[in-house]
């Protein structure tokens, strides 16, 4: 079955094995980002225009929130390893729901908005590693790419639809919007309370959380994920200002919709091919996609914005899925801990991109040629990945002379 995963029939056959709880989890993987992205993409505008915060303060708040949401995943993975996947998801949703209640209360007392935003990001950090681990719990290696890519597709679909629904209401009637999102999260939380415990977590014990958060980390996939997110977030952080200057905010939305659509359609269909692809080949293909996309963006025309976004998205489809699969294969830790470690790598990369990329974009902007920003990013996509070969040699040597058990924890 897994050998035919790249095709539509093989993918449907694989996903048809999903039972009721996993189908609910996939639905939740759409509904949760749908609700979140009805609010979070507009937070900079909401904090600045509705609550009167200065843009400098808004930038700091969003940077902290992003770092918490990504890097906090390593804590989420450790908690899931210690207390169980279902229980951790439930706690995470309770925390996130409380965050949206706080945003509603912030309409009356604005200082609450910062704490409420950070609370929603804490909930996201705790939820995602447990969600991914539950989705692949007890699934053989051949079917894991299809299950993970289906979850990623559902997540991206929710991220795409949420802003479209909420855009007309977030500044005019934010109270009703926050009430609707809170109610949505209450329903999803209640559904998670009815999920059965995952097969491998029926008796979580105190010893399962006794190792360090980075113990057993798969060094090469961790480093490759950090680098991939560092390079990709040049696109994520700075495309908006670049595209709006050359086209319009509406056209920027079209570019984002194209990128979301590619992830939703292409990644599930290509999941089996990505699984079978040698890791070195996948890294080469993925980083080449990022490099070519960044270079095309430098042209600055509308067709270039669409083509560049598409190439970058195809590159990240390969990189993000393959890095997760390779980390699961190489690490002796439980799935939840592995996903948490990979989220930490993503957070470090995204944060570095914001700090370093912001400085470079500012320099090129003042020089009057922001196209050079994308050319410099493209050069990094070609020059930095070869550094991973040293880590690859080191990790291969480590596997030939292991110091840790190779039995997967649960």
> Domain 218-400 belongs to what topology?
Growth Hormone; Chain: A; (1.20.1250)
Reported pTM: 0.77
- Residue-level pLDDT at 86: 92
Q: What is the mean pLDDT of residues 250-259?
A: 84
CA distance 209 to 230: 29
CA atoms of 343 and 226, how far apart (whole Å): 9
Quote the CA–CA distance of 176 and 167 in Å, as a whole number.
13
Whole-angstrom distance, CA of residue 62 vs CA of residue 362: 18
φ, ψ of residue 218 to 5 degrees: the values are -80, 105
Mean pLDDT of 125-131: 91
Q: How large is the average pLDDT for residues 355-360?
A: 82
Q: What is the percent of the chain with per-residue pLDDT over 70, rounded to a whole number?
A: 85
CATH number of the structural domain 6-143+160-207: 1.20.1250.20
**Does position 396 have pLDDT exceeding 70, yes or no?**
no
Is the pLDDT reported for residue 202 higher than 60?
no
Domains 6-143+160-207 and 218-400 share a fold: yes
Residue 307, CA distances (Å) to 128, 271, 291 in order? 30, 22, 12
User: Which DSSP letter does residue 197 get?
Assistant: P
Asked if the model's pLDDT at residue 296 lies above 90, the reply is yes
Q: Tell me: pLDDT of 212 over 80.
A: no
The domain limits of the chain are 6-143+160-207, 218-400
Please give the Cα distance from 108 to 130 (Å, whole number).
34
**pLDDT surpassing 70 at residue 399:** no
Question: What's the pLDDT at 207?
Answer: 44
Query: Which strand (E) or helix (H) includes residue 373?
Result: helix 371-383
């Amino acid at each position: 079955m897994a050998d035919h995963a790249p095709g539509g029939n093989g993918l449907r056959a694989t996903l048809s094995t999903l039972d009721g709880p996993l189908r609910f989890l996939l639905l939740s993987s759409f509904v949760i980002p749908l609700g979140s992205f009805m609010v979070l993409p507009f937070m900079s505008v909401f904090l600045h225009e509705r609550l009167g915060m200065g843009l400098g303060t808004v930038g700091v708040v969003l940077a902290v929130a992003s770092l918490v949401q990504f890097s906090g995943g390593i804590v989420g993975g450790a908690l899931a390893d210690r207390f169980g996947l279902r229980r951790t998801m439930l706690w995470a949703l309770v925390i996130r729901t409380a965050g949206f209640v706080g945003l509603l209360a912030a309409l009356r007392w604005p200082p609450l908005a910062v704490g409420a935003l950070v609370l929603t990001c804490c909930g996201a950090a705790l939820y995602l590693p447990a969600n991914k681990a539950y989705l692949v719990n007890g699934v053989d290696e051949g079917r894991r790419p299809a299950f993970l890519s289906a979850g990623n597709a559902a997540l991206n679909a929710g991220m795409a639809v949420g802003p479209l629904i909420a855009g007309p209401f977030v500044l005019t009637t934010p109270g009703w919007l926050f009430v609707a999102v809170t109610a949505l999260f209450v329903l999803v939380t209640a559904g998670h309370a009815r999920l059965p415990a995952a097969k491998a977590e029926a008796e979580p014990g105190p010893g399962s959380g006794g190792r360090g958060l980075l113990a057993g980390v798969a060094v090469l996939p961790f480093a490759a994920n950090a680098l991939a997110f560092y390079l990709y977030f040049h696109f994520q952080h700075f495309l908006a200002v670049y595209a709006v200057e050359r086209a319009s905010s509406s056209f920027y939305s079209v570019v984002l919709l194209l990128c979301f659509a590619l992830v939703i359609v292409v990644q599930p269909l290509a999941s089996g091919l990505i699984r079978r692809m040698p890791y070195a080949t996948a890294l080469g293909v993925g980083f080449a996609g990022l490099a070519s996309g960044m270079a095309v963006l430098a042209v600055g025309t509308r067709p270039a914005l669409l083509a560049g976004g598409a190439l970058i998205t195809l590159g990240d489809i390969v990189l993000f899925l393959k890095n997760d699969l390779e980390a699961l294969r190489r690490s002796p830790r439980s799935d939840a801990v592995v996903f948490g470690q990979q989220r930490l790598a993503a957070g470090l990369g995204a944060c570095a991109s914001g700090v370093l990329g912001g400085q470079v974009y500012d320099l090129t902007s003042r020089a009057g040629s922001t196209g050079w920003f994308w050319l410099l990013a493209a050069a990094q996509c070609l020059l930095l990945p070869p550094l991973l070969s040293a880590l690859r040699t080191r990790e291969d040597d480590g596997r030939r002379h292991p110091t840790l058990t190779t039995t997967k924890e649960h």
